[in-house]
Amino acid sequence: MKCPTLRVGHHKTICDCVVGAALCDRPLYAREKPVWRGRGGRATSPVVRPSSLQPSPPAFLIAPLAALADTSLVELIRDIGRRILRLTVYVGGLTVMIGRLLASLPQILGSARLVVYQMLTMGVRSLPLIILTSVFTGAVSAWQAAYQFQNFVPMRFLGTAVGKAIVIELAPVLTALVVAGRVGASIAAELGTMRVTEQIDALEVMGVDPVRYLVMPRVTSGAIMLPVLVLFSDFVAILGALVVAVLMVNLSATTFLNGVKLFFHMSDMYAGLFKASIFGIIISLIGCYQGFQTRGGAEGVGRSTTGAVVIASVLILISDYLIATMLFRV
Amino acid sequence: MIAIRGLVKSLDHRVVLNGVDLDVAKGETLVVIGRSCCGKSVLLKHVLGLMKPDAGTVTIFGKQLDQLDRAHLYELRMRCGVLFQGGALFDSLTVAENVGLGLSENTTKSKSEIADIVAERLEWVGLAGIGPRAPSDLSGGMRKRAALARAIAMDPEIVLYDEPTTGLDPITAEGINDLIVRLRERLKVTAIAVTHDMNSAFKIGDRIAMLHAGKIIFDGSVDQLRNSADPIVQQFIVGATTGPLEPL
């Protein structure tokens, strides 16, 4: 059986079909997907050149070689430049917003009603979700710790390990990630919709500073309510761990709780709450900035929403590491 | 009262405004007409200082906008009212809260004083009694009226209309046109309206300017516009598909 679209090249038989490709002897990398030509360039189908008739390189080199062969260095540099420029503009814009936010803080009392409303939205309405995720976070922590402890560490230390992990790390970070998904996305979508429907412009022309009216209440309530949510999360997660310790690991409640208290320091709790406050600022600030930067209708709102969750999540994890290195000296 | 000189603006590497010069006298209503996406709304945003020009200046009340800091810009904007194309009413507020927002945020008026002003403005636009309703409960025409009530809530000296009749049926559009004319007579405001609705332009405009390819290609009275020999102007006001302009 022969490939139906065989044609004769200069020296060898070349096939440019897809259906019959498996039957002809054309090198694999000549049939790769359209080649990347940078953001501004046009993707083109690869051309079968005499060089493609050479023996195939190793599979892991196929994509880089194809890119190098068909992408000009100038275009590559231009694309890198564009990305750096976009990042610079993003950071610059965010810095300007932070400056305007700080300038609007003295008017916080005048915006108390807005702050309280946002505290209700961000905090109270997030509570059921936080409780649900925290119960299972605590439960799985206790189960995994017990699994690791068996035959090596006395089980009376189970509460110590789980309690420390929850208060210092798990509750703040997981609560922040859940809130980033729920609240950060919601802020970006709401403000993004306001941007594309000219509501933010309307505020501007009414002489109402949108940063004071929209951003400041959200960031303030984020900074206040995330530590509150983390406190709930601490409590509920330890409760979940206790249930697993008693019912599944056959540890007494007293032993588990004594373990929790054994090396418990209030400074750990404060560190967790401080981190939570920083995470709350990150979530709301990124959500607001993404919303303000929205362009292009429903698709733009979707992009901003996704971006808010992704950027906030990444920044939460990076700042978590940085804060840990500052607060907990090894 | 409003002076625009040599305004140039590019968006996404496309020159939208390419040296626009316009003047609007006190008490005058200028209508800027032009095809969709020709830069009419961009022009309005420059008048409000919502966009910064690449070149050229916009002067309102004798103050050049690009030389004002944010606080002074806000002060100046409070003397202007804007009717946005889609109304731009705040979804999270009631109609009354929308209309009274500028007053509650920028003035020391009491709640009852604001409520009185809101009720009066809503009555002017024919929406008496709908203050407690949410913007989402209103029809397109009612949203425009509510947005117009908000635009005039702070007794502006300048009112800007961005496509005031777009998306409305002819009867509702005519109602909005009547309302704009009545408000002009009642408030004696200076106004700029951008539209591609020629009925609306003829009805509300004292003067009409046509924006095409980033420039003002016509600036004159309604009669001068009707009698213009420019084939682009004639094709646009007649709405013919044949001529120098091709359908988009």
Of residues A28 and A256, more confidence is placed in A256
What is the arrangement of strands in the sheet containing B207-212, beginning at the earlier edge strand? Answer: B80-83, B158-162, B190-195, B29-33, B207-212, B215-221
If you average pLDDT over every residue of chain B, what do you get? 90
Does residue A291 carry a pLDDT above 90? yes
Q: By residue range, what is the domain housing residue B105?
A: 88-153
Q: What percent of chain A has pLDDT over 90?
A: 64
Does residue A13 carry a pLDDT above 80? no
pLDDT value at residue A236: 96
The C-alpha of B244 sits at a distance from chain A's nearest C-alpha, in angstroms, of 30
- Indicate the residue of A197, A209, A213 with minimum beta-carbon distance to B86: A197
Backbone angles phi, psi at A167, to 5 degrees: -70, -40
Place of tokens 């068909």: A70
Contact B48 A204 (CB under 8 A): yes
Residue A147 inside a domain? The answer is yes
The C-alpha of A54 sits at a distance from chain B's nearest C-alpha, in angstroms, of 44
DSSP string computed for B89-111 = --TTS-HHHHHHHHHHHH----H
- A323 and A229 part of one domain: yes
- A172 and A251 part of one domain: yes
Selected residue of B82, B143, B166 to mutate for chain A interface (largest A Cβ count, 10 A): B82
Strands B2-11 and B14-24: antiparallel
Provide the domain count of chain B: 1
pLDDT value at residue B23: 93
Question: CA B246, CA B248: separation in Å to the nearest integer?
Answer: 6
Question: Where does the pLDDT of residue A119 fall: very low under 50, low under 70, confident under 90, or very high at 90 and above?
Answer: very high
The pLDDT tens digits for A146-171 are: 999 988 899 989 999 999 999 999 99
Selected residue of B44, B51, B52, B74 to mutate for chain A interface (largest A Cβ count, 10 A): B74
pLDDT value at residue A49: 47
Residue A40 inside a domain? The answer is yes
Q: By residue range, what is the domain housing residue A238?
A: 110-327
Provide the domain count of chain A: 2
The pLDDT tens digits for A29-82 are: 444 444 444 444 444 444 444 444 555 666 677 766 666 666 678 888 989 999
If you average pLDDT over every residue of chain A, what do you get? 84
**CA distance readout (Å), A79 to A72, A307, B109:** 11, 20, 54
- A202 and A304 part of one domain: yes
Residue B176 inside a domain? The answer is no
pLDDT value at residue A55: 59
Q: How buried is A129 (Cβ within 10 angstroms: 0-12 exposed, 13-18 middle, 19+ buried)?
A: middle
Residue of chain A whose Cα is closest to the Cα of B70: A209
- A212 and A300 part of one domain: yes
Question: CA A113, CA B105: separation in Å to the nearest integer?
Answer: 12
A117/B contact by beta carbon, under 8 A: no
pLDDT average, residue stretch B176-201: 89
pLDDT value at residue A18: 40
- A10 and A134 part of one domain: no
Does residue A19 carry a pLDDT above 70? no
Residue A1 inside a domain? The answer is no
Q: What percent of chain B has pLDDT over 90?
A: 57
Lowest mean pLDDT among A14-28, A66-80, A167-181: A14-28
Question: Where does the pLDDT of residue B203 fall: very low under 50, low under 70, confident under 90, or very high at 90 and above?
Answer: very high
Q: Which of A266, A264, A242, A268 is nearest to A158 (CA)?
A: A242
Residue of chain B whose Cα is closest to the Cα of A104: B71
Which chain B residues are closer than 8 Å to A197 by Cβ? 86, 88
- A55 and A127 part of one domain: no
For chain A, positions 220-239, list CB contacts with chain B under 8 A.
Answer: none
Under 8 Å CB pairs connecting chains A and B tally to: 53
Q: Determine which helix (DSSP H) or strand (DSSP E) holds A309, and give its type and residue range.
A: helix A297-327
DSSP string computed for B154-223 = T--SEEEEESTTTTS-HHHHHHHHHHHHHHHHHH--EEEEEES-HHHHHHH-SEEEEEETTEEEEEEEHH
- Contact of B248 with B36, CB cutoff 8 Å: yes
pLDDT value at residue A162: 94
- A17 and A162 part of one domain: no
Residue A93 inside a domain? The answer is no
pLDDT value at residue B186: 84
- Contact of A282 with A319, CB cutoff 8 Å: yes
Contact B90 A213 (CB under 8 A): no
Does residue B146 carry a pLDDT above 80? yes
Residue A98 inside a domain? The answer is no
Residue A146 inside a domain? The answer is yes
Residue of chain B whose Cα is closest to the Cα of A198: B88
pLDDT average, residue stretch B157-163: 92
A330/B contact by beta carbon, under 8 A: no
Lowest mean pLDDT among A287-296, B116-125, B180-189: B180-189
- A214 and A317 part of one domain: yes
A205/B contact by beta carbon, under 8 A: yes
- Indicate the residue of A198, A207, A213 with minimum beta-carbon distance to B77: A207
Question: CA B108, CA B199: separation in Å to the nearest integer?
Answer: 41
Which range, A234-238, B101-105, B161-165, has the best average confidence (pLDDT)?
A234-238
Residue B200 inside a domain? The answer is no
Which chain A residues are closer than 8 Å to B90 by Cβ? 194, 199, 202
- A64 and A122 part of one domain: no
